[in-house]
Structure 1
Amino acid sequence: MDGDVYVAPRYLAGSSGVGDAGFAPVAHWPHHHLDDGPHQLVVTSPDHRIRIGWAGDDYDLWTITAAPDAMSQPQWMAIANQNTPAELVGALTAALVQDWAEDSNRFLSAAGPRSDAVDPLIAAGWTIGGLDRGLLHINAPDGQAGATVDIIDPYADESITLWGGPAGWGTRAEIVFSSRTPPHLIAATAKAFTDPAPVPRWRDTLHPRLTAHARLAPVEPPQAPAPTPRDIRSRFSVRPPVPVGSVPRWSTTTPSALLPARPAARR
């Protein structure tokens, strides 16, 4: 367990600083550690049609693309910034692993209406907030997360954006999907935003503006205080010793009147 507190909702947990949770579903795929370029690590599907890049010191921390073949331009792209919890990215990479097969294009197919992409949010009680300059806004009940859908230009580079946390460079998490991203992959990511399970973090690394809205619970419950002598006596019902002088004792000088009568001799 990497952390001393659990954070909920998970979209307020911020980045853990490592990509373990995002890469866990693709741990069995080829890993490429790069010295040059914006991405320090690139994980690919076995046929290289799916690429997952991680830039440890960049604002756009994750870049995920899919193409019809290894040499083609990406058909769609998803970018997650440096504030995005890796657990949310992991929901997308897990869906890609489930979709990928050498003879399948499911991870490329945009079948189904775009509204399917945000269905998990509506099912979880998120509400439609209205239109603003061609963007449809969907808001979480606490107002600290949401989605924006470009309904004017369905082919926009930023077709659907999932976000969480207060606005600001160090607090707002964002995952941006391009227009041809299959709706079921966006839906899998959106569902992770509504997952009530908390995620572990180190308390000292959390941004104060996130902790102001999040619920924190210790990973290990606090230890009970050491018992006091009074607690021990009450627990085991220990009684104080009886004074020696109060214990009755018989001696050779005890008056015979106090001794038990001898039994009468048999005739």
Structure 2
Amino acid sequence: MSPQATPQPDIDGDVYITPRYLAATTGIGDPALAPLLALGWDLRHDDLGNAYMTAPDERVRLGYLPEGEDDGLWRINAYKDLFGLPAWGVCFNDRTPTEFVQAFTTALATAYEQGPEMYLARPDSGTDEHDPFLAVVPLLKQGWEIDQPRWGVFALQAPDARAGMEFTTGNLDPEAELTTRDARWQLWAGKSIERPAWYATASTDTPVALLAALTQCVADPAPLPRWREDTFSYIKDMAQLTPILPPRSPAPTPLDVQRAFASRRLAALPAASVPRWSTTSRPALPSTRR
């Protein structure tokens, strides 16, 4: 790594990636698990290295599945009936930027603290708080536009056409929403929705507050740090990579300025006028008269 690209101590990476939705995963799941661990959720692992988290009331479950059967790395389900189908489910594939998953789990932790009326809240266009439109507002504010609307699908596309979001209307198969990409909501980035670099899906009854936290993070114009050598080739072709420069020296304080001024004044004095310490004996005092 060249000195010009030395990252700051609190930044894990040597380049910034713009736009952030082309940044792919960090490969580390801990940041997304942390908000739920802080609430005392139970964490267990299997022999393959998969991780499973369960809320204290057992109504929300998370799976971090690097050794799963498909590319669904993150699966989060919530239940009204502990022995029934999930009330809602979300999936992030194995290349989704970890920061996006963390935004979702952070919002989930907040909703969980507020109770089932929040983490099981169904979208409702008749209310201000749970209107599904709130989930797309962060994208619209960043210039995402309606993309070739077609029957049964409301779609948005990023300004560079490298990311999009789709909302499918009509009746959907509840089980298919949880196990395939045929879900109510789908967010993606890459060359096309058919060949995404990463994708995330959310079923019909996923709370709007959780979706809005996700889209807010995706729409954030701030870049994300990554290591250049770990960056996928498709990202280098589509995104802008900017070296992370060393941190600038902090601005001098008034005390620093005062010390520097005093130092310059001392250096400008003639040598003879500069007081010096002496190790010689002091001159003898005059003797007293007898």
TM norm structure 1:
0.74
Q: Secondary structure at the match of 2:75?
A: strand
Task: Measure, in 2, the Cα distance between the counterparts of 1:57 and 1:133.
Answer: 37
CA contact (8 A) 1:10 1:198 kept: yes
Q: Note the 1:52-71 alignment, pairs <5 A.
A: 52-58=62-68, 59-68=71-80, 70-71=82-83
SS at 2:205's partner residue? coil
Segments of 5+ residues of structure 2 without an aligned counterpart are 1-10, 126-131, 178-182, 249-290
**Alignment map for 1:169-208 (pairs within 5 Å):** 172-208=197-233
Distance 1:57 1:169 in 2: 24
Q: What is aligned with 1:125?
A: 143
Aligned partners of 2:162 and 2:192 also within 8 Å? no
What does residue 26 of structure 1 align with? Answer: 36
Q: Residue 33 and residue 120 in structure 1: after superposition, are their counterparts in 2 closer, same or farther (change >3 A)?
A: same
Q: Does the C-alpha gap of structure 1 residues 203 and 18 become closer, same or farther in structure 2, counting only changes over 3 Å?
A: same
Quote the Cα distance in structure 2 between the aligned partners of 1:169 and 1:15.
19
Contact 1:52 1:62 in 2 (8 A): yes
Are 1:49 and 2:59 an aligned pair?
Answer: yes
| Offset, 1:131 | 2.3
Equivalent residue, structure 1, for 2:166: 148
Q: Is the 8 A contact 1:137 1:148 kept in 2?
A: yes
Note the alpha carbon deviations across 1:200-227, whole angstroms, 9 max, x for none.
Answer: 211111112112222222234499xxxx
Shift of residue 159, structure 1, vs aligned partner:
0.1
CA contact (8 A) 1:166 1:210 kept: no
CA drift of 1:122 comes to 1.4
- Deviations along 1:91-150, one digit per CA (max 9) or x if unpaired, are 110111111137442011114322222122112221001323522220011111110110
C-alpha separation in 2, matches of 1:56 and 1:102: 30
Query: Counterpart of 1:116?
Result: 134
* TM-score (normalised: structure 2): 0.69
- CA shift in 2, pair 1:204/1:79, >3 Å: same
CA distance in 2 between partners of 1:84 and 1:50 (Å): 21
- Of structures 1 and 2, the larger Rg is shown by 1
1:3 partner SS: coil
- 2:184 is the counterpart of 1:159: yes
Q: For this pair of structures, how many residues does the alignment match? A: 222
Of stretches 90-99 and 70-79 in structure 1, the one that deviates more from structure 2 is 70-79
- Aligned to 1:212, the other structure's residue is in SS state helix
- The amino acid that maps onto 2:41 is P
Question: Quick check: 2:75–2:91 contact (8 Å CA) kept in 1?
Answer: yes
Q: Is the 8 A contact 2:42 2:55 kept in 1?
A: no
Pick closer, same or farther for the CA change 1:186–1:222 going to 2, 3 Å. Answer: closer
Matched letter for residue 236 of structure 2:
T
Counterparts of 1:36 and 1:71 in 2: how far apart (Å)?
Answer: 26
CA shift for structure 1 position 169: 9.2
Does the aligned pair in 2 maintain the 1:66–1:75 contact within 8 Å?
yes
Query: How far apart are 1:72 and its partner, in Å?
Result: 4.5
Q: Return closer, same or farther for 1:155/1:187 CA change in 2, 3 Å cut-off.
A: farther
Distance in 1 separating the partners of 2:58 and 2:26: 27
Gaps of 5+ in 1: 224-267
Using a 3 Å threshold, how does the CA distance of structure 1 residues 75 and 34 change in structure 2: closer, same or farther?
same
Q: 1:4-58 CA distances to partner (integer Å, 9 max, x unpaired)?
A: 2222222111111121332232231334232258x71112222222212101134
Q: Which residue of 2 aligns with 1:12?
A: 22
Tell me if the contact between 1:129 and 1:139 (Cα under 8 Å) persists in the aligned partners: yes
> Counterpart in 1 of 2:108?
96
Contact 1:14 1:171 in 2 (8 A): no
Percent of aligned pairs with the same amino acid: 34
Higher helix share: 2
Q: Does 1:136 align with 2:172?
A: no
1:42–1:51 contact (8 Å) kept in structure 2: yes
Seen in structure 2, the aligned counterparts of structure 1 residues 125 and 6 have a Cα distance that, compared at 3 Å, is same
